[in-house]
Amino acid sequence: MKKYPKIVGWSVVIGFWSITICALNSMNERREIIESSNTAEDMIGWIVEDVANGRLDSTTADAYIYNLEEIIINLGCTR
């Protein structure tokens, strides 16, 4: 009878650590997605500034912005 409390206790500990590890992995993946989306949005801002300063033509800028917006959409983030 004395074995069962130890088994239950270790089961709870192992279950807790498993859930914690899964949650941390999920948080890291979400953080990476958000960081990628933020970088794409920053790049769009830089492209707009380059067009305004005459360093990039609007046709090329539109293509770049379209591709970056598609990346943001594919990441599951919205602008």
Predicted structure pTM score: 0.69
pLDDT tens for 6-16 read 777 778 888 87
pLDDT tens for 12-49 read 888 877 888 887 777 888 888 889 999 999 999 999 99
Give residue 4's Cα distance to chain centre: 43
pLDDT tens for 61-76 read 999 999 999 999 998 8
Q: Which residues of 17-39 are buried (b: 16+ CB within 10 A; e: fewer)?
A: eeeeeeeeeeeeeeeeeeeebee
Q: Count of CB atoms within 10 A of residue 47's CB?
A: 20
- Position 79 pLDDT exceeds 70: no
